Amino acid sequence: MEWLIKIINNPVLPAHLALLFALVIWLGVKLGKLKLGGISLGVTFVLFVGILAGHLYHTFVVAPSNGEMATAMANQTLIINFIKEFGLVLFVYCIGLQVGPGFFATFKKGGVEMNLLSTALIVLNIAVMLALYFIWFYSPGDPLNKKNLAMMTGTLYGAVTNTPGLGAANNILPRLLGGSADYDPGFNIGSSYACAYPLAVVGIIGATIAIRYICKISLDKEAKEYEHANEADPSSVPEHFILRVSNKAVVGHTLQELHNFVKGDFVCSRAKKDGEMFIPKESTVMEEGMKLYIVTATSDKEAIIALMGELLDEDWQKETEGEKRYISQRLIVSKPEVNGLTFHDLHFSSLYNVNVTRVTRAGMTLFARRNFRLQMGDHIRVTGTEENINRVREIVGDTQKRLEAPNVGMLFLGILLGIFLGQIPIPIPGISEPVKLGLAGGPLVLGILIGAFGYKFKITAYTTNSANLMLREVGLVLFLAGVGVQAGATFWNTVANGGYHYVWMGFLITVIPIMICGLYGRLKMKLNYFTLMGLIAGTNTDPPALAFANQTANNDAPAVGYSTVYPLSMFLRILTAQLILLILIPLV
């Protein structure tokens, strides 16, 4: 077993660190699945296993060496720093790609109010943290003020369960504190983060339960109200029906003219005249008695019927199944050239004599409006002859295998550009140090921009949901394991020297803002309770809280609230992590 002992006792061997990280991550993920009171910490448990491993390592391997391993440990620190920072970059960039396509859409309609409430919650988190810092730790002239502020920042991000924010803060600390006499290169704010995190998960869920009882909310009533209000989004869900042209005012006009006249949008997938079915074009002229097979958004149905004539009580499926000449198929958008184009740009009806009636994206079925912008991975429902549908297939690709192939080159190009973006100094009046987005903020912002606008520059960064999730999880566990192993050296000293204060302070940072904003959202904004639960979970970027909300609601309301505020919340959490330190450390 000498070979194994050699690997374990030599911290600079690649196999040594590989074993350490593999063990920490495997055990952390395994233990993270255990539930206590229906709550599990998930992959975040990797951090705590890393702390334990780091503590045991420094106690039984490093300490007995009496400084003989100093050089080896310095080299090991450099390697671990690279692993955890690369993991963080991979994690936040993939988050950016995921939320980018819908990032700016979250500011439409009710999303503005929800994001304002989420922003207020973030500001209150910071305010409570600073109040506790100045009341408990700050003393004029104390050389530990800067270090204590850094530790309280770690507490803040443990209290809001936001790991990328911890990474952003940790990333700039050496630059801010490296020249301070009180700065110990081995000190790690991951210790205070770890102190605050476990109770924060309980606090987030407990606060949402407290809001329920304070406001005397009935879960059954909330579920019924949400179901009634959200049975279907009338502006996007497609509806099929058959009507007969009987309005003499439209006779003699083309479908294109009717599209220009009516406020609502619609697709006429097929038409029947004198018993013969055909695929209509935009130039097709309306004739009295003609049957039209219409697909439109639910909200536009009545307007279309009023314009055309009379609704027929005929079964769409039975009518179309008997017509063998025309078929309906689902095609997958897999060609990068189509990414970002609209149906108006593609001219499927006029050029290929087919009609697209609906689009399926991320499990949702949407009406295929002419200005609908396609994305890689969309499924489109096409109606026409088999020959014409095959011609459209050549345009959109329809190759699942092509989508499953990893776009590794573009992934690392995005990371490269994101790192450059993160290093650009941004001067802010009144702040001596320019602000940088850093290794956390730069890739996140670039990922969002590529996800939202990449199609305009012919950049295809599509990855399947499973691939994106895999990359994010790998990046996150590498970061958590690295932070944990390094924090393990000082964690127990932190706890013994007053670290328990970070526990109760973190709990207050968690609960007070949630109670204030949660009650305001419920009593003043009249938010559905399940949506509010998702909003709170999304603002704290906390998957365990979302899982609890989903289990409570048994509908998609929490997911709607979570996804509406999550993108902006993640961005603000990472940005404010740096602003707090950049602005306040020079002042204290």
SS3 232: coil
Contact (Cβ atoms closer than 8 angstroms) between residue 283 and residue 353: no
Give me the chain's average pLDDT, please: 80
User: Confidence band (pLDDT; 50, 70, 90) for 183?
Assistant: very low
User: How would CATH label the architecture of 238-401?
Assistant: 2-Layer Sandwich (3.30)
- 260 pLDDT above the threshold of 90: no
- Report the DSSP pairing between strands 327-332 and 379-384: antiparallel
Q: Can you tell me the mean pLDDT for 511-517?
A: 96
- 316 pLDDT above the threshold of 60: no
Token digits of residue 386: 């088999």
User: Confidence band (pLDDT; 50, 70, 90) for 455?
Assistant: confident
- 350 pLDDT above the threshold of 50: yes
User: How far apart (Å, rounded) are the C-alpha atoms in residues 31 and 35?
Assistant: 9
Contact (Cβ atoms closer than 8 angstroms) between residue 62 and residue 69: yes
Q: At what angle do helices 219-229 and 529-539 cross, to 10 degrees?
A: 90
SS3 407: coil
User: How far apart (Å, rounded) are the C-alpha atoms in residues 225 and 220?
Assistant: 9
Least confident of 141-145, 370-374, 524-528: 370-374
User: Confidence band (pLDDT; 50, 70, 90) for 180?
Assistant: very low
User: Residue 109 corresponds to which amino acid?
Assistant: K
The pTM (predicted TM-score) of the whole model is 0.68
The pLDDT, as a whole number, for residue 519 is: 96
User: How far apart (Å, rounded) are the C-alpha atoms in residues 453 and 565?
Assistant: 20
Q: At what angle do helices 529-539 and 557-584 cross, to 10 degrees?
A: 30
Instruction: Please state the domain extents for the chain.
Output: 18-59+73-225+422-584, 238-401
User: Confidence band (pLDDT; 50, 70, 90) for 9?
Assistant: low
The pLDDT, as a whole number, for residue 149 is: 92
pLDDT tens figures, 99-111: 676 667 666 656 7
Cβ count within 10 A of residue 315: 10
User: Residue 329 corresponds to which amino acid?
Assistant: Q
Q: Can you tell me the mean pLDDT for 242-260?
A: 85
User: How far apart (Å, rounded) are the C-alpha atoms in residues 434 and 465?
Assistant: 36
The pLDDT, as a whole number, for residue 232 is: 46
Q: Can you tell me the mean pLDDT for 290-302?
A: 82
580 to 421, 442, 588: CA distances (angstroms)? 20, 17, 12
pLDDT tens figures, 529-569: 998 998 998 898 877 777 678 778 877 678 778 877 877 88
- 70-74 long-range contacts, Cβ below 8 Å, gap at least 24? 72/10, 72/11, 72/12, 73/11
